[in-house]
Amino acid sequence: MSILFSPLRLRSVEFRNRLWVSPMCMYSAVDGMPQEWHHTHLAQFASGGAGLVVAEATAVAPEGRISPRDTGLWNDEQRDAWTPIVRAIHDRGAVAGIQLAHAGRKASTWWPWADDRGSVPVGDGGWSTVAPSPVAFDGFDAPIALEITGIDNVVDAFAAAARRALDAGFDVLEIHGAHGYLLHQFLSPLSNQRTDEYGGTLANRARLLLRVIDAVRAESGDDVPLLVRISATDHADGGFTPEEAAVVGGWATEHGADFIDVSSGGLVAHQQIDLFPGYQVALAETVRQGGRIPVSAVGLITAAEQAERVLAEGAADAIFAGREWLRDPHFALRAAHELGADVSWPSQYLRARWR
């Protein structure tokens, strides 16, 4: 019996397997609105057997977008544009999730294939950014330090976006606290130099994340699974550590999170990452064991046997993948075939099931 293709239940939602699609930014939205690209992009993973399909980092406020081409959920028109996409994921048997995000000091940047780099000027559609402290990410414009009112507004924006996501039909919500974006910026001493109740100690640095979890859980009620993505290390001296991540993960579950999605990095340009297959699995195991909480692993997990082994060894409870899904939108069906797992295939694909 394959663990990877065994079901998993979180609150009222059952996932048909534990091979999930990570949120991946497409930089293809218009005024925060997902397009036909997003519909096709996300629905194909559900056809390909994914247990959970998580839509890309979606901004809770206009100034929270990574780039002017990011998706959003700060108005009802965006909510309505997501609805048919969610329906397409459901129609193909997968659970639909969305990652709610605020980019903080890493907002208002050019998309990856643009001719320019760094911050987008206001005249070209950019905007002023915010952060816990007025410390710029290397190569980007300096942000404005959030005052308490601004912090309160961020919490309210996450809650409002969560309500719109649920109204659009999403089954699962994920809070983005990783990759150097706003909530991660508060967690790390490398970007958080505050001396008030949101800076200094780990408890203070985690305060905004926990407030956001509280607000989203209050909006979602008791039935909706809530994931939190964290970067378990900054890969830089003096930064956020795996041991701190385990503590914060434990606090997150006490405040209503169900699952910690363990990633790493993204906070500083001088990070030093040793890349190899499954390079973040040990971080997931540290958070899982230290916090005594369920976690997912992600990061260059590209083969069925590799994913199965991560679960069998107890390092994680589910697998997120990104690039491998882009290379093969039917990754789960291929993995099931390779592992000999008896899973449901779309009727249109049955001819490829065994031979």
Q: Which residues are catalytic?
A: 181
- Beta-bridge mates of residue 54: 97
Rounded Cα gap, residues 209 and 257, in angstroms: 11
> Which DSSP letter does residue 16 get?
S
DSSP secondary structure string for all residues of 85-103: HHHHHHHTT-EEEEEEE--
Q: Is residue 210 within a helix (H) or strand (E), and if so which, with residue range?
A: helix 207-220
Which amino acid type is present at position 276?
A: F
Output DSSP code: residue 146.
P
286 sits in which H/E element? helix 281-291
- CA distances (Å), 8 to each of 3, 13, 132, 255, 334, in order? 10, 8, 37, 21, 20
> 118: which DSSP letter?
S
Q: Quote the DSSP letter at residue 135.
A: -
